[in-house]
Each structure stands twice: as structure tokens, then as C-alpha cells.
Structure 1
Amino acid sequence: MRPLWRCRACGAHWPCQPARLSLLVEYRKDRTALLVYLGLLMAEAHAQLSQLDGQLHHAGLHDRFLTWARARGPAEQVTMFHVNPEPGAQIHHTDPFAVPAGQRSAVRQFRGRLAAPVTLWTAPGPAGLTVSSTLVADGDPGRLLGLIDAESELWAAVEEAGRFAVAPLGPAHRQLADRFAGLFPSPGGLFAIDNWTETPYGPVPADAGSWAGCRLDGAREYGWGLLVEATIEQVELTADGDPLLHHRGRYHELS
């Protein structure tokens, strides 16, 4: 989010941890191109942040934008980790890109204490995004609200198509949720694996069961996100399944 250079999704200084992991995957075969790209963004950030804070230290921006992305030797190779590991996965016990505890937003920490259902939003294109801020309002017609990243590929696709699909995810979709949240590599593209059911509103996971087709009504900036308002035009229901919940930065299931 310019000119503050914070992530619209998490509020941390950009590039935040998910952004760094996504960039490392995207530029895994051309680290030089990644450094050039980050250098250009660093110059833009320096110019904009300097207008907000005349005491800005350029060395801090260099570490924030470039140091972490430089190629490393075998002894100090950065290994990507899975925030919500599947059983048997090998992970680090610490997050090398995490925001220090003393610098974390109190509002973000409060939000993390509210358990939220994990949903997948998709649109024709296709494009998709994991969303944990979805609210359904009953009525005639029913309405749907959600907070998403205004700079995401999903929003660009939704804005162009004027419609999108929302599917609640279950415990079996942990890795899928991480992939669409940018926390897990997706070689070949987000939709390259898993089975999908094509709908007029966007593809939905074949095993997701229930989903809703929505018509976009409008959107506006809300906090660091984009508040999307939509009308529910179609609902498909199957047998009930356990939901996947997000709480305190991790996935949970109903006990």
C-alpha cells in the first residue's frame, strides 16, 4: 500500500514474509532479475517514504528490499518453510522473515484472536485467493461481504468479470489454502494441481462441496484491504463437512 509501503493483506512492511516467499519462487531461476526488480521498488519506496519521514535511513531500506534476496552459498541457503505443515512435513521452528513481536500491530493481534472460516474465492481467468474474512447476510437476495487484497490477481479478475465464486474449505485443503495465500509454492500455476469444477463464476475445488456464485455490486477501501460487496445468485449445497478455521496464525479444526 503506497505511500506507506505496507502489505494490504497483513499490514507488515512490504515485502513481508509471504511476499518474499512468493518472489523467491517466481524468480527462482533468475535471482539477478529479482534484485533489479527489488532495486527499482526500493528507489520508489525511498522517494515516497522520505516525504513522510525526513529521518528515513537508506541502510534500513537496503536490508528490507535487497539483503534477504541476495544469492547465498550452500552453508547459508534459505529454506522455505510451511506455516501450516501437513503431518510429516519438515519445517523450521522459526520464521526467518517474521515481524519482531514488539513491532506487531495490536489490531492485527486482536484480529488473530477471532477464529475465522477459511474460504477460497475464484473468478474467471482463472484467478483465486484464500480469504478468511467472509460474511454472508441472509435476505432476499442474500448478500456476501469480504475483505481482500486490492492488488491481488483475484481482484483484477473479479473487477473484469463482475462475478466470482466462494467455496468454504475443509481440513483436507490446508495446502491448497496456503498455495492460494502465497505461502506455498505453486509450480505450473495455482490451478495446475487438484481437481476443479468449472462454474460460470469461476472454478471451485471438486471436493469442496458447497459453493456460492456471486455478482459483484461494488468495492471500497477499508483499512488496508478492499471491502467487496456482492449479491449471491447461485448456491450449491452438498453433505455437510467440517470447516477449516484460522486462529492465531494457524489452521484449526472443530474438536
Structure 2
Amino acid sequence: MRPLWRCRGCGAPWPCQPARLALLAEYRHDRVGLLVYLGALMTEAGAQLTRLHGRPADLHERFLGWARGRGGTMFHVNHEPGAEIHHTDPFAVPTGQRSPVRRLRGRLAAPVTLWTAPGPAGLTVSSTLVAEGEPDRLLGLIDPESDLWAAVEESGRFAVTPLGPPHRQLADRFAGLFPAPGGLFATGDWVETSYGPVPADGGGWAGCRLDTAREYGWGLLVEATIEAVELAEESVPLLHYRGRYHELPA
């Protein structure tokens, strides 16, 4: 989020932990390319942040230092040969620098859902709420700069699928935390609907018509009318709690 250079998803200074992991996956075979890309962003961020607060002292470490690792070795997300493995997360924000509001949000367990739209486009969302009424409504907070929002804004409709424990990797893929060679929809079985593709092994889905959207905090609050509901067998939900996936005990 320019010019503050904070992540729209978590509010932490960018590149935050999820952004770093995604960058390492994207540039896993091109260390020089990653450093050049980060160097260009560091220059841009330095100019914008200096105008706001004066030049930050930690820009080099924030944008470049984490990508080098000890001894000039790149960190890797999948522990390839030659990678340096850590028992602790090398990208974690120090406890004293963590936002108390973000920590509060992390303590609220939330269902993990997949939003998709014609295009196709998709995004993992853990802030979905259903409101019964006449008509029935659905609300959620999403990234306003995501491909999903561009597709929803253009088509005026989208599908919402509750995810279960077998969908952990799918959730990470659509959250940008797991590599997606060939595109987000290249793997897995999908059912085409007029609201967007939905996972064939999902517990069901809801087709929604976009009503309104407005900036809310660092996200975009989307309000929609539920026009269709397809439910399969009841399944165990996938929950997001304190930065990790969880499932209900049997």
C-alpha cells in the first residue's frame, strides 16, 4: 500500500513475511533478478517514505538483507539442496514490533473460503460473513488490488466456496503463498458456474451478485446478494487461527 509501504493484507511493513515467502518462490531460480527487483522497490519506497517521515534507517535490511541469508546464501521455502534451513522463522516480525490489533485479529478463528469470479480469478478469504434476510446477503474483506476484485468489478458476480482440511495447499496457492506453475486454476478439478469456477471437491458454494464495495481499513468491504446456494455433504471446515490452519477436533 503506497505511499505507506505496508501490506494491505496484514498491515505489516512490506515486504512482510507472506510477501517474502511468495517472492522466494517466484524467484527461486533467479537470485540476481530478485535482488534487482527489490533494489528498485527500495529506491521507490525510500523516496515516498522520506517525504512522509524522513528517510528510514533500515531500508536496506528491510528490502535486501533478508534475501541474502548468511554467507550470501538464499533462503528457500522448500528446503532444496544447498538451502539454509532454520528451526525458527527468519522472516517473523519481532514480538515488540507486532501490531496489537493484528494480534487481536489473529486470535479470532475464521473460516477459510475461496472466492472466484469469471475470468477466471480467485482469492483466499478468511473474513467472510453470511447475513440471513430478505434477500440473504454476504460480506467480506478482500484486497482491492487483487485480480479477483478486478474480475468481480467487471462481471458483477462471484462464487464463494467454504474450504476444508484437504484444501490447505489450494488455500495457500490462492493466497499467493504457494507456487502456481501454469496459473492458479491449472491443477485440481473445477466445476464451471456462471459465477466463476468452484472446486469440484468442495462442500458446496454460493453464487453472489455484487451490490457495493468500499474501502474499509486497509481492505475493501464487499457486500453482495446471495442468488444461488449449492450444498454437498457436510464437511469439516478449515479454520485460520493465529497465522495457521486448524480443523475442528473429531
C-alpha distance in structure 1 between counterparts of 2:185 and 2:70, whole Å: 31
C-alpha distance in structure 1 between counterparts of 2:225 and 2:126, whole Å: 19
Off by >6 Å, runs of 4+ in structure 1: none
C-alpha distance in structure 1 between counterparts of 2:86 and 2:190, whole Å: 32
Quick check: 1:81–1:92 contact (8 Å CA) kept in 2? Answer: no
Instruction: Check 1:62–1:242 CA distance in 2 against 1; reply closer, same or farther (3 A cut).
Output: same
**1:131 CA drift (Å):** 0.6
Aligned residue for 2:158, secondary structure, equals strand
Q: How many residues are paired up?
A: 244
Code of the residue aligned with 1:39 in structure 2: it is G
Quick check: 2:109–2:239 contact (8 Å CA) kept in 1? Answer: yes
Quick check: 1:220–1:228 contact (8 Å CA) kept in 2? Answer: yes
CA RMSD of aligned residues (A): 2.0
Deviation string, structure 1 residues 205-226 (Cα, Å, up to 9, x no partner)? 1000210011111211111111
Q: TM-score normalised to the size of structure 2?
A: 0.90
Quick check: 2:208–2:227 contact (8 Å CA) kept in 1? Answer: yes
Code of the residue aligned with 1:162 in structure 2: it is G
Query: After superposition, where does 1:13-162 map in structure 2 within 5 Å?
Result: 13-54=13-54, 56-57=56-57, 60-70=58-68, 76-80=73-77, 92-162=86-156
**1:35 CA drift (Å):** 2.6
Q: Identity of counterpart residues, as a percentage?
A: 77
**1:117 CA drift (Å):** 0.5
Q: TM-score normalised to the size of structure 1?
A: 0.89
Code of the residue aligned with 2:131 in structure 1: it is A
- Of 156, 166, 170 in structure 1, the residue corresponding to residue 164 of structure 2 is 170
C-alpha distance in structure 1 between counterparts of 2:145 and 2:91, whole Å: 21
- 1:86 matched to which residue of 2? none
C-alpha distance in structure 1 between counterparts of 2:98 and 2:3, whole Å: 20
C-alpha distance in structure 1 between counterparts of 2:51 and 2:184, whole Å: 38
Q: Any gaps of 5 or more consecutive residues in structure 1?
A: 83-90
**1:70 CA drift (Å):** 4.4
**1:29 CA drift (Å):** 3.8
Quick check: 1:31–1:71 contact (8 Å CA) kept in 2? Answer: no
C-alpha distance in structure 2 between counterparts of 1:27 and 1:17, whole Å: 15
Q: Any gaps of 5 or more consecutive residues in structure 2?
A: 80-84
C-alpha distance in structure 2 between counterparts of 1:156 and 1:67, whole Å: 33
- 1:202 matched to which residue of 2? 196
**1:71 CA drift (Å):** 8.6
**1:142 CA drift (Å):** 1.0
C-alpha distance in structure 2 between counterparts of 1:5 and 1:81, whole Å: 28
C-alpha distance in structure 2 between counterparts of 1:70 and 1:101, whole Å: 23
C-alpha distance in structure 2 between counterparts of 1:29 and 1:240, whole Å: 42
**1:3 CA drift (Å):** 1.3
Code of the residue aligned with 1:30 in structure 2: it is D
1:5 aligns with 2:25: no
Aligned residue for 2:226, secondary structure, equals strand
- 2:209 matched to which residue of 1? 215
**1:21 CA drift (Å):** 1.8
Deviation string, structure 1 residues 214-247 (Cα, Å, up to 9, x no partner)? 1111211111111111111111111211111111
- Of 186, 194, 209 in structure 2, the residue corresponding to residue 192 of structure 1 is 186
